């Protein structure tokens, strides 16, 4: 990376300069050369980090602003419901695609930091994976999946969800799940366990889902996981639901939230 090469050049220049001019002895020249390398690396790292953060904050600002406008529109719809739920959903999808597309364009600006920051390309792929997921562009999602970093439960749950959508073997999904939950702290496994057990239920492996929930509840006290385990234990498979996790669950795109058509209220004069 350029920052490391520049720091090495600075360190060598200082060390060799002091040594060849006999300003200091070999030991002290080497010491100050290493010190100069460290200082140069620190300064360049801070400068680059600040610029990368500014670029990432710009991406985040686009998303936050877009979500605020979308929520405001939905709040207005609650006051005066539109005539068609399908038309409402289509308009929401269009609005979301507009600001997500803008955010994606901003992520491309991060590529200028690739020669300077290790793993920058993979960080960009990770951000774009999430953005393309939001607008359901699964062709791009599949292209980015081998390059992205699945470092947190939400990202890992997305990967599992995509493998399920692609009808990959349960063993492949289980491998991703087991690897992720091993390193998670108490209650960090909720989304992963909910998604994995749901997939097993959908594939008619109710016993496997029950066992998975039993193991998950050793590291969690989540009420949704508890309720689903009780439903499976009492042969109430039809009552199995992750809706209690709200938007966190529906963001995986495995299920659509149920929207009830509001009936117009009669107004008495």
pLDDT in tens, 210-231: 999 999 999 999 999 999 999 9
- Angstrom distance (rounded) from CA 174 to CA 268: 58
Residue 124 lies in a domain: no
Query: Model-level pTM greater than 0.75?
Result: yes
Instruction: Say what the pLDDT of residue 265 is.
Output: 41
Residue 210 lies in a domain: yes
Arithmetic mean of pLDDT, 187-198: 96
- Angstrom distance (rounded) from CA 262 to CA 259: 9
Q: In this structure, what token pair is assigned to residue 51?
A: 């610029």
Whether the CB-CB separation of 229 and 206 falls below 8 Å is answered with no
Instruction: Say what the pLDDT of residue 257 is.
Output: 79
- Angstrom distance (rounded) from CA 229 to CA 213: 6
Residue 250 lies in a domain: yes
Q: Which of 161, 156, 110, 120 is nearest to 138 (CA)?
A: 161
Q: In this structure, what token pair is assigned to residue 184?
A: 């998670």
Which residue blocks in 80-137 are alpha helix, DSSP H?
85-108, 120-134
Does 169 have pLDDT greater than 80? yes
Residue 198 lies in a domain: yes
Residue 3 lies in a domain: no
Does 27 have pLDDT greater than 80? no
The number of CA neighbours under 13 Å toward the Cβ of 123 is 15
Domain count, the chain: 1
Dihedral angle computed from the Cα positions of residues 187, 190, 191 and 196, in that order, rounded to the nearest 10 degrees? 140
Q: In this structure, what token pair is assigned to residue 90?
A: 């289509």
Residue 245 lies in a domain: yes
Residue 193 lies in a domain: yes
DSSP state of 110: G
The number of CA neighbours under 13 Å toward the Cβ of 87 is 5
Whether the CB-CB separation of 245 and 194 falls below 8 Å is answered with yes
CB atoms within 10 A of CB 40: 20
Instruction: Say what the pLDDT of residue 81 is.
Output: 67
Does 264 have pLDDT greater than 60? no
- Angstrom distance (rounded) from CA 252 to CA 1: 36
Does 7 have pLDDT greater than 80? no
| 106 vs 176, higher pLDDT | 176
Residue 103 lies in a domain: no
Total count of residues recorded for the chain:
269
Does 170 have pLDDT greater than 90? yes
Averaged pLDDT of the chain = 81
| 198 vs 47, higher pLDDT | 198
Q: Which domain holds residue 201?
A: 150-256
Give 15's pLDDT tier (boundaries 50, 70, 90). very low
Give 35's pLDDT tier (boundaries 50, 70, 90). low
């Amino acid at each position: 990376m350029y920052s490391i090469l520049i720091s090495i050049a600075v360190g060598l220049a200082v060390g060799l300069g002091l040594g060849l001019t006999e300003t200091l002895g070999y030991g002290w020249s080497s010491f100050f050369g290493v010190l100069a390398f460290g200082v140069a690396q620190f300064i360049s790292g801070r400068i680059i980090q600040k610029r990368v953060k500014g670029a990432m904050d710009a991406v985040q600002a686009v998303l936050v602003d877009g979500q605020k406008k979308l929520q405001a529109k939905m709040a207005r719809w609650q006051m005066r419901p539109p005539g068609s739920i399908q038309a409402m959903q289509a308009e929401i999808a269009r609005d979301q695609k507009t600001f997500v597309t803008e955010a994606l364009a901003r992520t491309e600006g991060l590529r200028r930091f690739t020669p300077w920051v290790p793993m920058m390309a993979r960080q960009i792929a990770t951000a774009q994976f999430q953005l393309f997921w939001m607008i359901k562009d699964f062709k791009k999602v599949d292209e980015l999946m081998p390059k992205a970093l699945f470092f947190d439960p939400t990202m890992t749950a997305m990967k599992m969800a995509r493998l399920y959508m692609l009808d990959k073997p349960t063993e492949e999904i289980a491998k991703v799940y087991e690897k992720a939950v091993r390193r998670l702290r108490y209650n960090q496994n909720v989304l992963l366990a909910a998604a994995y057990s749901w997939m097993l239920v959908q594939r008619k492996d109710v016993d496997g889902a029950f066992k998975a929930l039993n193991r998950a509840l050793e590291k969690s006290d989540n009420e949704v996981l508890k309720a689903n385990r009780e439903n499976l234990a009492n042969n109430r498979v039809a009552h199995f639901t992750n809706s209690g996790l709200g938007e966190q669950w529906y963001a995986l795109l495995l299920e659509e939230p149920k929207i009830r058509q509001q009936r117009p209220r009669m107004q008495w004069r």
